[in-house]
Amino acid sequence: MLLRIRALLAALWAGELLTVALLAAPNAFATLERAMAGRYVGRLFELDARFALAAGILLILMERRLHRDGDVGGSAMNLGFLLPLLAIGFTAASYYALEPMMEVARQGQGSWTFLQLHAVSMVFFGLRMITVLVLAWRVMPRIAPAPAR
């Protein structure tokens, strides 16, 4: 049961990231005034960061429990543990470290421009998306082929 819940949570996280990146953010800038779209997308990224931390921690805890119960083999530091940890790191770097720097850059202060920080933030978001997609693919339960008749 925990294997399926883990797979569902990883898939939901991957879907959330794809929805923000491919639908919500681009459509906000296509339909709303630039300042309003920026506020809307900023709020989306705030919610995304909170969800990422919660999902990442839950997935790590589930992995520890599955490893302890013997449901997953291998080392305790396997990809089921490292991928959510890496995604949490990308979240922390992107939202909790770069976002305050971007606010300073919007006011014309700091050594980096807003555009430079935005580009670095997009790279972190892309790396997190790839990490979570790989995680979701890895934890999906394998379906045995139907027996031949």
In tens, the pLDDT along 18-30 reads 999 999 999 999 9
Is residue 8 a part of any domain in this protein? yes
pLDDT beyond 80 at 61: yes
In the structure, what pLDDT confidence band is assigned to residue 47 with cuts at 50, 70 and 90? very high
pTM of the model: 0.87
Is residue 117 a part of any domain in this protein? yes
Is residue 149 a part of any domain in this protein? no
Number of domains in the chain: 1
Is residue 148 a part of any domain in this protein? no
In the structure, what pLDDT confidence band is assigned to residue 70 with cuts at 50, 70 and 90? confident
Residue ranges making up the domain that contains 34: 2-139
- CA 22 – CA 19 distance, rounded (Å): 5
- Cα-based torsion angle of the residue sequence 48, 49, 52, 56 in order, rounded to the nearest 10 degrees: 180
Contacts of 106 (CB under 8 A, 6+ apart): 114
Q: Across the chain, what does the average pLDDT equal?
A: 91
Is residue 126 a part of any domain in this protein? yes
In the structure, what pLDDT confidence band is assigned to residue 144 with cuts at 50, 70 and 90? low
Map residue 75 onto helix, strand or coil.
coil
pLDDT beyond 60 at 42: yes
Is residue 12 a part of any domain in this protein? yes
Is residue 145 a part of any domain in this protein? no
Is residue 146 a part of any domain in this protein? no
